[in-house]
Amino acid sequence: MNKREKLFGRMKGLLFILLILSGTVLLAGRIDALGITPARASVDFVSGVEKMIGFNVINTDGKDMNLVVYASGELNKSIFIFENMISMGADEETKQISYNIKMPADLSPGMHSADIVVLEVPKEGGGIGAVVGVIAQLNVYVPYPGKYAEAEMHISGAEQEGIVQFVIPVVSRGDVDLVSVHANVDIYNSIGEKVDSFNTLEVSASKEKRGEIVHNWKADVPAGVYSAKATVIYDGETLKLEKSFNVGEMILDLQQIEVRDFKLGEIAKFEMLVENKWGEEIKGVYTLMNVFNKEGEVMAEFKSPTENIPGFEKKVLVSYWDTGGVKKGTYDSSVYLIYGQKSAQKDLQLKVSDDMIEIVGFGYVISSKKLFGDRDLLIKVLVIGIVVLAVMNIAWFVFLRKRLFRGKELKRGRIAN
Amino acid sequence: MADEISKWMKRIDFIVVALSLIIVVWLVGYGAPLVIAPQDDLETTSTAVLFEFSNADKILLDDNLEFSSPEEIYAKDNLVINLKPGVYYWKVVGFEESEIRELTIKSEVGLKLQESDDGKYEVVNAGNVGLDVEIFNKGTFVGKTVLEPEESSLEKGDKFVGGENE
């Protein structure tokens, strides 16, 4: 093969790669996007009333677009869209679309809806070959006769002995306001035993203003998963809600490490006692141990088999270190207790002798972040400022003023005499 | 002479009281939280909101003006908080509380299609709410996919329409 053929071959290869790359870029680059905001509008039903509502179309890609707008869904016949065909220029970031809803004369109680669909009209010879569309929803709420409540329950988990906050927002969906709404909440543990129960304070709710039941419950229970069953009682009617929540964290504690019957050069058996402080079984727990040489490099890494540890129980996790070639001395080491997405680290030293490995110190890695330093400084400045002011005022009005006044009076008396 | 002394004393009284008042006003101003951003009544579709303030170490955030169940976020100066669409009221607390500001995260439905080489489309939720995406092929409804914000899935079809899910 002469030089020219070699060069030609290389150029062919390069051309082939360029073709593939450009094809990939062209294919990968074909994107189409569309957006609207807000995604949803809500109105209260008033028989026969007409109302204008708007939303914005977002030109996500910043390109020229033709859009078609139409209504679908249950109330589509009640919707009148002012412009069904819309053009957007590349320089237009958003465009407002307005429509009217003429509420029917009669609708059954509850929520009724319509979808305003915005579709991008595909361009001839351009675009990606598929149509992209987005929906702006309209919800019309028809009040129930009399009193009717809708509620949901939010629970913020807490540490053991900490405070769990229960928040129950209540919305009035009836044609009469809710004067007195409260909840009775029962707390159950994971095996279905009732562990506590409480009643909340009363709130009121109207169509214009929702009510919010808030109760702080002291989690005087073991760590674990709990469920709350709430009965919301409003003016003689009831509503049931249920939600689960956590108390405490999934925490495993490495309590002890032992190496028995050890001889240098043989395999050392590390027995690590781990306690599950969580009320539920923690699955997939294992330990990983790193031993470092004098240069701080990892000279050995060994881990235990994976185990499941039942709630509030202890288990020994065993791992093995082949000490062949290891010399007597003290080695830094880190033990990782790994479970789920969590990992707890403990730093220690291994004092290796001929017939013993002594585990020295459980050094915890603690990071403390001082959040309140500036606030302390601020309080100091304010306190010092106020003290200085108080001293200045007391000094003047109680002592200096009187003394000065007395001195002037005496001087005046002497002059008079 | 007595009148002169009295006048002189009153002048000093006035200076002491005025000076005290000035210092008190300055101290109150120094201790008051300074709220910079977001500005009051801000409306945005961005769910990541930068809170900028000083002289405070806690942000209180709630969906009502009474702050009946506020979310308490401990922070120093600036912090970006990810919020769901909705109307929020917020204030910062330090030595004293700041003014209450209103913030609206507007819901946004965003749908992005990217052509892949096997004739399918990568359907991406580019908005800030969960989406139900209806998939059509040759005018027929062929299925639906549910996407959380920034989530994507590979689908086959020629029309994709997304709306907020519950």
Give how far A8 is from chain B: nearest CA, Å.
30
Q: Which amino acid is at A383?
A: V
pLDDT at A118 over 50: yes
Same domain, A259 and A359: yes
CATH code for position B99: 2.60.40.10
**Would you say A33 and A73 are in contact if contact means Cβ atoms under 8 Å apart?**
no
Collapse the DSSP code of A20 into the 3-class scheme (helix H, G, I; strand E, B; otherwise coil) and give the result: helix
Instruction: Please indicate, yes or no, if residue B121 is contained in any of the structural domains.
Output: yes
Quote the CA–CA distance of A32 and A30 in Å, as a whole number.
7
Strand-strand pairing, A282-292 and A194-199:
unpaired
pLDDT at A296 over 90: no
Confidence grade of residue A364 (pLDDT, cut at 50, 70, 90)? very low
Instruction: Please indicate, yes or no, if residue B65 is contained in any of the structural domains.
Output: yes
**Would you say B102 and B41 are in contact if contact means Cβ atoms under 8 Å apart?**
yes
* The domain boundary residue, chosen from B105, B121, B138: B105
Confidence grade of residue A122 (pLDDT, cut at 50, 70, 90)? confident
Give B149's DSSP letter: T
Q: Which of A186-200, A275-289, A296-310, A351-365 has the lowest mean pLDDT?
A: A351-365
**Would you say B90 and B33 are in contact if contact means Cβ atoms under 8 Å apart?**
no
A196 Cβ contact list (under 8 Å, min separation 6):
A186, A187, A217, A220, A221
The count of C-alpha atoms lying within 13 angstroms of the C-alpha of A124, restricted to the half-sphere facing its C-beta, is 0
Closest CA to A214 of A149, A153, A150: A153
Same domain, A131 and A168: no
Q: What are the φ and ψ backbone dihedral angles of B29, each rounded to 5 degrees?
A: -65, -40
A137 contacts in B (CB within 8 Å)?
A: 163-164
Residue A417 has a pLDDT of 60
Question: CB of A280 within 8 Å of any CB in chain B?
Answer: no
Give how far B38 is from chain A: nearest CA, Å.
20
Same domain, B136 and B115: yes
Verify whether the Cβ–Cβ distance A134 to B115 is below 8 Å.
no
pLDDT at A18 over 50: no
Strand-strand pairing, A131-142 and B159-164:
parallel
Quote the CA–CA distance of A53 and A151 in Å, as a whole number.
27
Quote the CA–CA distance of A382 and A377 in Å, as a whole number.
9
* The domain boundary residue, chosen from A142, A168, A183: A142
* The most confident of A151-155, A219-223, A249-253, by mean pLDDT: A151-155
Instruction: Please indicate, yes or no, if residue B45 is contained in any of the structural domains.
Output: yes
Question: What is the pTM for the complete model shown?
Answer: 0.64
Verify whether the Cβ–Cβ distance B5 to A405 is below 8 Å.
yes
Same domain, B93 and B50: yes
Instruction: Please indicate, yes or no, if residue A407 is contained in any of the structural domains.
Output: no
pLDDT at A117 over 90: yes
Same domain, B36 and B73: yes
Instruction: Please indicate, yes or no, if residue A241 is contained in any of the structural domains.
Output: yes
The count of C-alpha atoms lying within 13 angstroms of the C-alpha of A107, restricted to the half-sphere facing its C-beta, is 23
pLDDT at A24 over 60: no
Same domain, B101 and B117: no
Same domain, A326 and A341: yes
Same domain, B77 and B121: no
In the predicted model, what is the mean pLDDT of chain A? 83
Residue count of chain B: 166
DSSP E strands in A73-109: the ranges are 79-81, 85-88, 94-102
Burial class of residue A312 (count of CB atoms within 10 Å of its CB; 0-12, 13-18, 19+): middle
Same domain, A271 and A219: no
Longest CA–CA span in chain A (Å) reads 134
Instruction: Please indicate, yes or no, if residue A13 is contained in any of the structural domains.
Output: no
pLDDT at A259 over 70: yes
Quote the CA–CA distance of A264 and A353 in Å, as a whole number.
7
B145-159: string of b/e by CB count within 10 Å (b at 16+)?
Answer: bebebeebeebebeb
Instruction: Please indicate, yes or no, if residue B23 is contained in any of the structural domains.
Output: no
Residue A20 has a pLDDT of 44
Same domain, B68 and B47: yes
Which alpha helices (DSSP H) does B73-121 contain, by range? none
Residue A11 has a pLDDT of 55
pLDDT at B101 over 90: yes
Verify whether the Cβ–Cβ distance B110 to A35 is below 8 Å.
yes
CATH code for position A194: 2.60.40.3880
Token reading at A342: 């969590």
Question: CB of B94 within 8 Å of any CB in chain A?
Answer: yes
Same domain, A219 and A166: yes
**Would you say A258 and A243 are in contact if contact means Cβ atoms under 8 Å apart?**
no
B5 contacts in A (CB within 8 Å)?
A: 405, 408-409, 412
Instruction: Please indicate, yes or no, if residue B18 is contained in any of the structural domains.
Output: no
**Would you say A75 and A47 are in contact if contact means Cβ atoms under 8 Å apart?**
no
Same domain, B36 and B97: yes
pLDDT at A198 over 60: yes
The count of C-alpha atoms lying within 13 angstroms of the C-alpha of B17, restricted to the half-sphere facing its C-beta, is 7
Question: CB of A407 within 8 Å of any CB in chain B?
Answer: no
Same domain, A138 and A41: yes
Same domain, A194 and A134: no
pLDDT at B62 over 70: yes
DSSP E strands in chain B: the ranges are 34-37, 42-44, 48-54, 56-62, 71-74, 78-82, 86-94, 101-105, 109-115, 121-125, 131-137, 140-147, 152-155, 159-164
Same domain, A138 and A199: no
Among all residues of chain B, which has the CA nearest to that of A408?
B5
pLDDT at A3 over 90: no
Residue B140 domain boundaries: 111-164
Instruction: Please indicate, yes or no, if residue B8 is contained in any of the structural domains.
Output: no
Same domain, A113 and A91: yes
Instruction: Please indicate, yes or no, if residue A408 is contained in any of the structural domains.
Output: no
R_g of chain A computed on alpha carbons: 37
Same domain, B64 and B48: yes
Query: Which chain A residues in 100-119 lie under 8 Å from chain B, judged by CB atoms?
Result: 115, 117, 119
Residue A227 domain boundaries: 149-247
Same domain, B45 and B79: yes
Closest CA to A111 of A149, A137, A136, A140: A140
Instruction: Please indicate, yes or no, if residue A389 is contained in any of the structural domains.
Output: no
Same domain, B119 and B74: no
For chain A, the domain total comes to 3
Confidence grade of residue A26 (pLDDT, cut at 50, 70, 90)? very low
**Would you say A342 and A295 are in contact if contact means Cβ atoms under 8 Å apart?**
no
Same domain, A277 and A331: yes
Token reading at A329: 């001395």
Same domain, A199 and A102: no
DSSP E strands in A144-236: the ranges are 149-151, 154-156, 163-172, 178-188, 194-199, 203-205, 211-218, 224-234
* The domain boundary residue, chosen from B68, B84, B105: B105
Token reading at B50: 């930068």
Residue A188 has a pLDDT of 95
Strand-strand pairing, A211-218 and A40-44:
unpaired
For chain B, the domain total comes to 2
Question: CB of A378 within 8 Å of any CB in chain B?
Answer: yes
The shortest CB-CB distance from B68 to any of A36, A40, A212 is to A212
Residue A321 has a pLDDT of 93
Among all residues of chain B, which has the CA nearest to that of A209?
B64
pLDDT digits (tens, 9 = 90+) for A161-187: 788 999 999 999 998 999 999 999 999
Residue A345 has a pLDDT of 84
Instruction: Please indicate, yes or no, if residue B24 is contained in any of the structural domains.
Output: no
Instruction: Please indicate, yes or no, if residue B14 is contained in any of the structural domains.
Output: no
Measured between alpha carbons, how far is residue A295 from residues A329, A330, A363 in Å?
14, 13, 20
ipTM above 0.90 for this complex: no
Token look-up 């603690």 returns A366
Token reading at A242: 């249920």
Q: Tell which wins on pLDDT, A183 or A261.
A: A183
Q: Please report, rounded to a whole number, the percentage of residues in chain A having pLDDT higher than 90.
A: 46
Question: CB of B165 within 8 Å of any CB in chain A?
Answer: no
Same domain, B43 and B101: yes
The count of C-alpha atoms lying within 13 angstroms of the C-alpha of A81, restricted to the half-sphere facing its C-beta, is 22
Same domain, B101 and B36: yes
Strand-strand pairing, A131-142 and A40-44:
parallel
Quote the CA–CA distance of A158 and A228 in Å, as a whole number.
14
CATH code for position A52: 2.60.40.10
* The domain boundary residue, chosen from B77, B105, B133: B105
Instruction: Please indicate, yes or no, if residue A188 is contained in any of the structural domains.
Output: yes
The mean pLDDT of B47-67, rounded to a whole number, is: 88
A375-401: string of b/e by CB count within 10 Å (b at 16+)?
Answer: beebeeeeeebeeebeeeeeebeeeee
